[in-house]
Amino acid sequence: MDFGRLITAMVTPFDANGQIDWEATGRLIDDLIEVQKNDSLVVSGTTGESPTLSDEEKTALFRFAVDRAGGRCKIIAGTGSNNTADSIQLTKEAEACGVDGILLVAPYYNKPNQEGMYRHFKAIAESTKLPVLLYNVPGRTGINLSAETTLRLAEIDNIVGTKECAGQDQLAKIIASAPESFKVYTGDDSTTLTTLAFGGYGVISVAAHVIGAKMKQLIEAYTSGDVTLAAKLNLECYPVFKGLFECPHPVPNPVAVKYALSLRGLQVGGVRLPLIEATAGEEEFIRSLFQ
């Protein structure tokens, strides 16, 4: 299974009452495929506010996304959590919904050791026929899935790649030693070009909600050998890459990108507590990124 090089970790649109807005979700999926040129979408990942979605909402999202995409792109279900048994059950439900793969975040808060994480991911992978992408994001989970453990997991047949957010040193170490078929994605938009230069495969992105078409052009320029154009496009994208997370101080994802989508005419609503809306000053900064 090739999920492509540009994947968006999709936000979950909410209505005024904080419930999933299905009409807005459909419009967003269409835009991410047709306008932003994504190869795959992650549904109910952490950018989709998975910690505040019920399992019933998640499975409804998986089913809806598969139907709406209609084969135009791959749908990857965010089924990972810090509860191995629950992750297995949700993975089975996602498989029944017809998704193309799953994304498993490292188990947050529990702080398992490397062997515990290995067994966690192995157990989930063995419960499904779907291809599995790992997701290592120490800044949010409080733990680091080491390069060595990632490489052990890469030996499992249906663990096909990773979304790596532990920094360039660890990403490069994984790329250098992983099987050729194992795809390494960055989860940090600002390192898209450097990840490709290291030999990584692509990006699982937040910024591609709003500048996906340009990011696709950047990736295609680099992979076709036009490094000068890729560098130019990277410089043009860079303020958005950084600004969506640092506007003008760190703002929890997906607060900024949801507001940025509204500036493009895609109303996806607010965020669920404990997240809160962007302040007036933060909104002004986000607007400045697109002027």
Known catalytic residues are 135, 163
DSSP letter for 230, please: H
Tell me the three state secondary structure of residue 273: coil
Q: What is the distance between the alpha carbons of residues 189 and 206, in angstroms, rounded to a whole number?
A: 7
Q: What is the distance between the alpha carbons of residues 95 and 107, in angstroms, rounded to a whole number?
A: 21
Tokens of 136: 């290592």
Q: What is the distance between the alpha carbons of residues 87 and 26, in angstroms, rounded to a whole number?
A: 26
* Tokens 């790992």, residue located: 134
Beta bridge partners of 183: 161
Helix axes 55-69, 84-97, angle to 10 degrees: 30
